[in-house]
Amino acid sequence: METFARLLPDRAEGLTAPDVAAAVPGAAPADRPFLLVNMIATADGRATIAGRTGPIANRADYELFHALRTRVDAVMVGAETVRVEGYGAMDPVAVLVTRSARVPGDVGLLKAESNRVVVLTPSPDAELPPCAAEVSYLRAPLPEGVRRLRAEHGVASVLCEGGPQLLSDLLHAGLVDELHLVIAAKLAGGTDPITIVTGSGFDPSLDLALRSLHESGGYLFLRYGVTS
């Protein structure tokens, strides 16, 4: 198991991924789940290498990625991320955000029989192909759908794992409480890189409040509160 050094707010050595993850989730707002987003980027700001996040990560990131899942009621992910990354079995409820539901039934998230998948879609008739996972539908725009996760599914905390467009949509809707950002000790270069947020900009820009900073293997693990 990898160890982490906490640099802020106070120094501590020899921490494990569950130690770092123990700070979340925070208290849920009155009308919706607490929502944190976990993203990774290279030191030059790329959110993918060859179209995937896997080549950016190290072992510590992998362990923290899974430790965070144990702290929440649901894991949210966009359809494009599922198509690219596949995913697999998970204990929390999976919330698949999609407009069209055009996700193959044989991707890992949907072929794991133990998975419970809530499809959050604004479409009144979008349907996934037949799959092994237990699937239900929450047909609503994103802000309403996130609120209904609490009211109808008992979800008090959500971990969003991307992708960049979904993060943009959540931020524009004012639904993100914390951003957990991993800065990898890598430079990737290249033109027109995908960053952790895509889509239209924020006017005014959103302010972040640094709540903690950890390091492992040269990677930095930042936990921000989204303050505006």
Domain 38-189+208-226 part of CATH 3.40.430.10: yes
Task: Out of 1-5, 36-40, 80-84, 166-170, pick the least confident.
Answer: 80-84
Question: What's residue 200's pLDDT?
Answer: 87
Task: Name 227's Cβ contacts closer than 8 Å, sequence gap at least 6.
Answer: 206, 207, 208, 209
Sequence ranges of the domains in the chain = 38-189+208-226
The better pLDDT of the pair 17, 50 is held by: 17
CB 41 within 8 A of CB 188: no
Could you give the percent of the chain with pLDDT greater than 90?
91
Q: Residue 33 pLDDT > 80, yes or no? A: yes
pTM attached to this predicted model: 0.95
